[in-house]
Chains A and B, each alone.
Chain A
Amino acid sequence: AAGVIQSPRHLIKEKRETATLKCYPIPRHDTVYWYQQGPGQDPQFLISFYEKMQSDKGSIPDRFSAQQFSDYHSELNMSSLELGDSALYFCASSTRDSANSNEKLFFGSGTQLSVL
């Protein structure tokens, strides 16, 4: 079965550089979520998209932006990177194709971002 695909798996950047993370949700899933998880922390909600439109916004810094494209893939763009941005970034997708099914988020393997 198809899963959520994220790329790259690992990314190393310098301070003040930019980074772009990509996410390909499960086919026919209508909602995409982005999360940031620091070491030993819980996943922090950044932003979500429903049917390619921004839905909810969480603790996403102004330096970050995200969008969902016509083919449903999503990108998280991060500028002016700081040391504190080093974290595991997860993308997840879900669908409401049956009762309560959109409560089940399918997560990708994540992108480990290291800012040096």
Chain B
Amino acid sequence: GQSLEQPSEVTAVEGAIVQINCTYQTSGFYGLSWYQQHDGGAPTFLSYNALDGLEETGRFSSFLSRSDSYGYLLLQELQMKDSASYFCAAKGGSARQLTFGSGTQLTVLP
């Protein structure tokens, strides 16, 4: 099965940089994804890492180290609208079973 661990809460101020870590244990690993979810909303895809290294998409970047079973999401120039839950996720099985981590609630303060 898959197990992904994240911090439950992170708080930062507008304009700051925040890093959300994710450690995983999976039986079979294809890569690490990140999703954002606002209260009552649907999860929205942010980023995906199949290989080691950094992927940058605008203000968001994601990093993966397969040897350490570790990844992180980096959010720069934080805005109030970034307040949301962030989930790391990994696939297993036949690659059509995406398991989510426990989620990190990010609160951005003015």
Contact = CB atoms under 8 A, between A and B. Distances in A.
Interface residues of B, number: 25
Contact of B93 (A31, A56, A106, A108): A56
B94 A56 contact: yes
A56 B101 CA distance: 18
A43 B42 CA distance: 10
B45 A58 contact: no
Contact of B97 (A56, A102, A108): A56
B99 A107 contact: no
A113 to B, nearest CB: 14
Contacts of A43: 43, 87, 100
Given A42-B103, A100-B31, A106 B97 contact: no
A108 B30 contact: no
A110 B101 CA distance: 19
Q: Which label, helix, strand, loop or mixed, suits the secondary structure of the B interface?
A: loop
Contact of A100 (B35, B40, B48, B94): B48
Which size class do A's interface residues fall under? 20 to 34
A48 interface: yes
A6 to B, nearest CB: 9
A106 B101 CA distance: 18
A108 B100 CA distance: 16
A31 B96 CA distance: 8
B98 A45 contact: yes
B102 A42 contact: yes
Given A42-B87, A42-B100, A42-B102, A107 B44 contact: yes
B50 A107 contact: no
Contact of B33 (A56, A103, A107, A108): A103
A33 interface: yes
Nearest to B90: A103
10 contacts: A42-B100, A43-B43, A45-B98, A50-B94, A56-B93, A92-B43, A100-B31, A105-B98, A107-B43, A108-B42
5 cross-chain pairs, A with B, having the tightest CB-CB distances, nearest first: A56-B97, A107-B42, A55-B96, A42-B100, A48-B96
